[in-house]
Structures are given as C-alpha cells and as structure tokens.
Amino acid sequence: MTERTKPIHTPLVTPPPNGSVSPEIFPAMGEEAIFRMIRDLYVLLAESSVAHLFASDPEEHMAAADKSGAFFVFLLGGPPLYQQRYGAPRMRQRHLIVEIDEAARQEWLRCFGDVLEDATEKYGFPAEHLEGFIEFLVKFSAWMVNTE
C-alpha cells in the first residue's frame, strides 16, 4: 500500500444520504453472499491498476475485504457488523491515508461493475435494486476522491 504524498482534496460533492440503498437487498442476499461478493471485488482489485492502494499481502488483502464486507452488510440492510467490530464507518476519513484520484475511482467502479454483472445469479442480488445500488456507488466513490 502506498502512503499519501499529495495534499488532501475535498470534492465538491456530499456523501450519499443514509437510506439511499434499499434495505430489501440484505434479506434477499444474506450475509454470506454479500461477503462473497465483496471478496470477489477484492480479487479483481488486487489484479487492477489500483492494486497499490491495497495491502500486497494476500491475507491482509482478504482481511480488508472482510472489513469492507461488514460495511456492505450494514449498508444493504443487515446488522451493523462494521460498527460492532470497528466503530463508526467514517469511510472518507479512513481512506485519507491513500491517494484516491478520479482514475482510481473509475477503476474501482469498473471492478465493482464487473462483479455486479452477474450478481443476480451469483449472489442473489435482487435485480430490481441493482440500478439504485450502482447509483449509490457512483455517488459514494465521488465522495471518496481525495487527490486531484
């Protein structure tokens, strides 16, 4: 993982509002499927142009995937696993240690898009909520950009 060398940039967007993702997603998918989906995302991220933003050690990388999975379980309507294990999410603050520019954002979105292509079949992601979830990811990732 590379350390920050550039000044912190604050985007001209705000985070997506609470409740902008349907809580009906969790009951349809369940905790295990959400964790599998996020682990699959992290496999793609490890092979992508943003791999340097993540731990290079495979065990640490998958531990980060599980940490992220806990966040997405709650986001998609499940129990507050992330908060119980790690405290308040404060995702932007937690990611300030690495430089996330627009190119990194687009690569992250591409990888997530690849995972979501067959999410209905592979993870039981409800098709009627995919578009809204993708909209959330677009807004969320714009808020995470911290480097010009």
What is the C-alpha to C-alpha distance for residues 41 and 64, in angstroms, rounded to an integer? 11
Residue 94 resides in a domain? yes
Read off the pLDDT of residues 82-110 as tens digits, 9 standing for 90 and up. Answer: 999 999 999 888 988 899 999 999 999 99
Residue 136 resides in a domain? yes
What is the C-alpha to C-alpha distance for residues 83 and 9, in angstroms, rounded to an integer? 26
The domain total for the chain is 1
Residue type, 72: F
> Bigger pLDDT: 16 or 148?
148
Residue 80 resides in a domain? yes
The percentage of residues in the chain with a pLDDT greater than 70, rounded to a whole number, is: 99
What is the C-alpha to C-alpha distance for residues 84 and 82, in angstroms, rounded to an integer? 5
Read off the pLDDT of residues 35-72 as tens digits, 9 standing for 90 and up. Answer: 999 999 999 999 999 999 999 999 999 999 999 999 99
Q: What's the CATH code of the domain at 60?
A: 1.10.490.10
Q: Residue 87's Cα: distance from chain center in Å?
A: 17
- Domain, as residue range, for 41: 25-144
